[in-house]
Chains A and B, each alone.
Chain A
Amino acid sequence: MPEDGALPGHALAGAAGRPLGFYLHVPYCATRCGYCDFNTYTASELRGSGGALASRDNYADTVVAEIRLARKVLGDDPRPVETVFVGGGTPTLLPAADLSRMLAAIREEFGLAPGAEITTEANPESVDPRYLAELRAGGFNRVSFGMQSARQHVLKILDRTHTPGRPEACVAEARAAGFEHVNLDLIYGTPGETDDDWRASLDAALGAGPDHVSAYALIVEEGTQLARRIRRGEVPMTDDDVHADRYLLAEEALTAAGFRWYEVSNWATTEAARCRHNELYWTGADWWGAGPGAHSHVGGVRWWNAKHPGGYAQALTEGRSPGAGREVLAAEDRRVERILLELRLADGCPLDLLAPAGARAAARALADGLLERAPYEAGRAVLTLRGRLLADAVVRDLVD
């Protein structure tokens, strides 16, 4: 990774034909949730490490510095930004003005495309109508709430501090503030959750009237508090078959409510309600990820920033790129990535991406009922419902 963050010349070739997005990472949380392995820090975790630079008080300024660096690196790239997504961590731990200030820097340096999708994640307990109104006024038009569950005992295992009912209220507040698109994130398969708990969570979420739902199987990541608790036998590990059952319940409830899946873990009421920012990730578009540990991709070059807020801020203060490493994808890497990303989409991936062995595997997957027949005959591999649950296994065969 060069100090100035310069990209190899070929990365910007043909850029005009690809949309450009921005991801802004906010690496702060009030408390650390037991299941979370994201790059985020609580105030006490940061105390004594990284000093003032790692503080969230001047965090927006640091990110703005990276946005200005991005402008330099991308040079005379004329593209306006199609999507901005602020994630974390807990973005809403920062004052709404800070989020708006970061967005303003993007607008200033790159310009926003007409109808650009501007999303922030929000924790239900950390926003109120005024905060949401400020965000809306700052230019945000989509908000994603971390609801996770409607059940207190499930939220407790997850260490989520909001009370049941609060996320649903948030949706109403966001609508009132003028947000066009609202997402609720749900987690299923938490230890102790029953099928009925999950149904109740789905019903509560749908009752609140979002236009987008993400439902994720709980992944117990190594090194988390939850992994330790499971290893010690304090909470039971959820069986994969239970995950499968819950997924089917989600598909059923969401479809009945008028939602359609467009990615393995994502459902939306209309095409317009889909998260366009996430679609950039899945379709090989360009995005700049700003913030500690954020990943970026431009024209087959991936890079990632220093993980710790202190080191990250230090680099920018000294006028260096905060990039910690990068990889330049070979043609075969890009082919494999396309298969593994696009196969997760409702649009699927084109069969002509496959090598002969992969094509034979696709024919077997079709025969096994893992791929839909009609799209297959039209030249695309699209997963069936059962196939979605076995997507990784199908990918392993198709990349051959």
Chain B
Amino acid sequence: MPATPTNVPEPSRTDPALLRNFCIIAHIDHGKSTLADRMLQLTGVVDQRQMRAQYLDRMDIERERGITIKSQAVRLPWDPSEGEEGSGTTHILNMIDTPGHVDFTYEVSRSLAACEGCILLVDAAQGIEAQTLANLYLAMEHDLTIIPVLNKIDLPAAQPEKFAAELANLVGCDPEDVLKVSAKTGVGVPELLDKVVREVPAPVGVKDAPARAMIFDSVYDAYRGVVTYVKVVDGTLGKRERIRMMSTGAAHELLEIGTNSPEMKPADGLSVGEVGYLITGVKDVRQSKVGDTITQLNKGATEPLGGYKDPKPMVFSGLYPLDGSDYPELRDALDKLQLNDAALVYEPETSAALGFGFRVGFLGLLHLEVIRERLEREFGLELIATAPNVVYRVDMEDGTEHEVTNPSEFPTGKIDKVHEPVVRATILAPSEFIGAIMELCQTRRGNLLGMDYLSEDRVEIRYTLPLAEVVFDFFDQLKSKTRGYASLDYEPTGEQSADLVKVDILLHGDKVDAFSAICHKDKAYAYGVRLVAKLRELIPRQSFEVPIQAAIGSRVIARETVRAIRKDVLAKCYGGDISRKRKLLEKQKEGKKRMKMVGSVEVPQEAFIAVLSSDSDGDAKAKK
């Protein structure tokens, strides 16, 4: 192991020529966090005693699920042991950790914009996955220097030759140029760092210009308020400076500026090409938005850096506390999560069936899952989430237009056109599954855009698909039809008009808003039949007959009946039975509290959960 570098340049006084800003693009489980761990150790910023696995992943959920939601930047001093730079000149490597999932593409693109190079890290036993490929294309669009690396070469199942060829093909290099490392054992990691120094270009900026720093991440910390991660493109930001957010014009005092190695370390400032954090005392990440440009308040820059976008939710779901009295806790929890998540939007919503809750907008399904899991785990809430839906635009014949984020808001009356969002989906899979994948995409109203072989037996299939079809258990279906081998990525590409209708579910004649869904006309019947049959299994018999109907407008398309219960009485009640019977009654009353009244029908919570959970079969329990 090389000695810990000496004469490490200080932040704000580092020659840009010695800077290397890079990120690591990798799929979940392909070993990015482990590689980052090795780099922290090799460069001596974390000593052996403090080292813990996946050092940079802060949230429990991140560590458990093996995904990184929020990115960070770490300043690593590195003294290359070989090459033209030779030994003795300590370089500063800024490793910018990127989120690894399709939902966070915008955040990825901002992280990439802060880099000049990237390490493309791929599992030598599995090959590249769709999301990694998508991020690779994104990196190429940003003109980053790509360093292809195969990880886990120590695994018995590793096929380094095969996947080196695949990577070389994608990146446009020789298979020999693909580095082979084991992040676990550390083999090949020093060579990789050397290669970063050698190949990644130094950042270029104008030193004497007004400062322009791009925000690539913004994190809420309970003790320090919002910590904003930036890359200084031009000029210098000094400590105690007054700054301005260029998208909003808001001014803030810089309370602290510094770098991470990997803990926060205050500095005098950040100069051209440098990456670090700053703290202004704002309490909400929406005041410090990813992609925004920071400049000085006085004599600041006039032109922001390009690429800023407001995060736009793509998927909506209603979140309701299982116990209605938890509503205030749910509101507080969402408020807290929003401090750290500029993409999270929500507004109060009332459902006749589910009570008070929120309609919450997410970037995508993973975002939804992560938020829901955090609400349940970190805040101890029990939730019912309605089936996720996308945003529809409805043109009426009278020329008015509606935006529908909740099926129950779908307008009645003469509809001219309904527009739905569409995505461009990329699926990578072994070629034996081409048929199964195409069949799935066809049933989901997909249009084939093209197909390419990545290697002899792996293909990339591209489809246009309605987002609504993707958010409804598409990924699960894809996984099951390809025995888990396929990977998926998608990006929004606009909208299309389609023959969409709202299917309502009526219980005993009363519409249950939570079960309404918008779906394609050709699928409405199947949807109605399936849901009605499922509800028949889940709704206990009542003292009267309960018709369950699916309807489009006033037209009933499916019907089932829950027969009236005729007998609900225990035969015997003598001396020794009385206490037992009273206790049973108390228990039944508890059970009754967990029933939701829909009109006059008692519906168990489990019915809502089973119907609304996105897996199509649910875990329907036989009714008693």
CB–CB A337/B578 < 8 A: yes
Minimum CB distance partner of A391 in chain B: B569
B566 contacts partner chain A, Cβ-Cβ < 8 Å: yes
Residues of B within 8 A of A399 (CB): 585, 589
A241 to B541: give the CA distance in the assembly, Å: 11
Minimum CB distance partner of B541 in chain A: A240
CB–CB A295/B579 < 8 A: yes
CB–CB B582/A340 < 8 A: yes
Q: How close is B580's CB to chain A, nearest CB, in angstroms?
A: 9
CB–CB B575/A336 < 8 A: no
B574 contacts partner chain A, Cβ-Cβ < 8 Å: yes
Q: Is the interface of B mostly helix, strand, loop or mixed?
A: loop
A395 contacts partner chain B, Cβ-Cβ < 8 Å: yes
CB–CB A216/B575 < 8 A: no
CB–CB B572/A341 < 8 A: no
A212 contacts partner chain B, Cβ-Cβ < 8 Å: no
Report which of B563, B569, B574, B581 forms a contact with A390, defined as CB distance below 8 A: B569
Residues of A within 8 A of B592 (CB): 396
CB–CB A219/B571 < 8 A: yes
CB–CB B576/A243 < 8 A: no
Which of the segments A40-48, A62-70, A286-294 contacts the partner chain?
A286-294
CB–CB B567/A240 < 8 A: yes
B568 contacts partner chain A, Cβ-Cβ < 8 Å: yes
B157 contacts partner chain A, Cβ-Cβ < 8 Å: no
Q: How close is A120's CB to chain B, nearest CB, in angstroms?
A: 15
CB–CB B589/A240 < 8 A: no
A368 contacts partner chain B, Cβ-Cβ < 8 Å: yes
B570 contacts partner chain A, Cβ-Cβ < 8 Å: yes
Residues of B within 8 A of A396 (CB): 585, 588-589, 592
Q: How close is B618's CB to chain A, nearest CB, in angstroms?
A: 25
CB–CB A304/B576 < 8 A: yes
CB–CB B568/A390 < 8 A: yes
A217 to B572: give the CA distance in the assembly, Å: 9
A239-266: contact bitstring with B at CB < 8 Å (1 yes, 0 no)?
A: 0110110010000000000000000110
A297 contacts partner chain B, Cβ-Cβ < 8 Å: yes
In the complex, chain B residues 541-594 whose Cβ is within 8 Å of any chain A Cβ: 543-544, 563, 565-576, 578-579, 581-582, 585, 588-589, 592
A392 to B566: give the CA distance in the assembly, Å: 11
CB–CB A389/B582 < 8 A: no
B342-355: contact bitstring with A at CB < 8 Å (1 yes, 0 no)?
A: 00000000000000
CB–CB B582/A289 < 8 A: no
Minimum CB distance partner of A295 in chain B: B576
Task: Using A244-B567, A370-B543, A389-B568 as known contacts, say yes or no to A302 and B578 having CB atoms under 8 A apart.
Answer: yes
A393 contacts partner chain B, Cβ-Cβ < 8 Å: yes
A121 to B535: give the CA distance in the assembly, Å: 47
CB–CB A264/B576 < 8 A: no
A194 contacts partner chain B, Cβ-Cβ < 8 Å: no
Residues of A within 8 A of B568 (CB): 240, 389-393
A44-66: contact bitstring with B at CB < 8 Å (1 yes, 0 no)?
A: 00000000000000000000000
A390 to B566: give the CA distance in the assembly, Å: 7
Task: Using A247-B567, A390-B568, A399-B585 as known contacts, say yes or no to A278 and B576 having CB atoms under 8 A apart.
Answer: no
Q: How close is A45's CB to chain B, nearest CB, in angstroms?
A: 20
CB–CB A293/B576 < 8 A: yes
Residues of B within 8 A of A304 (CB): 576, 579
Task: Using A289-B576, A295-B579, A327-B579 as known contacts, say yes or no to A389 and B569 having CB atoms under 8 A apart.
Answer: yes
CB–CB B574/A240 < 8 A: no
CB–CB B567/A390 < 8 A: yes
Residues of B within 8 A of A344 (CB): 573
CB–CB B578/A240 < 8 A: no
Q: How close is B576's CB to chain A, nearest CB, in angstroms?
A: 4
Report which of B570, B576, B578 forms a contact with A392, defined as CB distance below 8 A: B570
Residues of A within 8 A of B581 (CB): 340
CB–CB B571/A240 < 8 A: no
A392 to B578: give the CA distance in the assembly, Å: 13
Minimum CB distance partner of B589 in chain A: A396
B321-335: contact bitstring with A at CB < 8 Å (1 yes, 0 no)?
A: 000000000000000
Residues of B within 8 A of A282 (CB): 573
Task: Using A340-B581, A340-B585, A396-B589 as known contacts, say yes or no to A278 and B574 having CB atoms under 8 A apart.
Answer: yes
| Chain B residues in the interface with A (C-beta under 8 A) | 543-544, 563, 565-576, 578-579, 581-582, 585, 588-589, 592
Which 4 residue pairs of A and B lie closest in terms of their CB atoms, listed nearest first?
A244-B566, A295-B576, A216-B571, A391-B569
A-B contact list, 12 entries, CB within 8 Å: A219-B570, A244-B566, A281-B575, A287-B575, A304-B579, A336-B585, A340-B585, A390-B567, A390-B568, A392-B570, A393-B543, A393-B568
Given A240-B567, A391-B569, 12 additional A-B pairs, CB 8 A: A217-B567, A219-B570, A240-B565, A264-B573, A281-B574, A289-B575, A295-B578, A297-B575, A302-B579, A340-B582, A396-B589, A399-B589
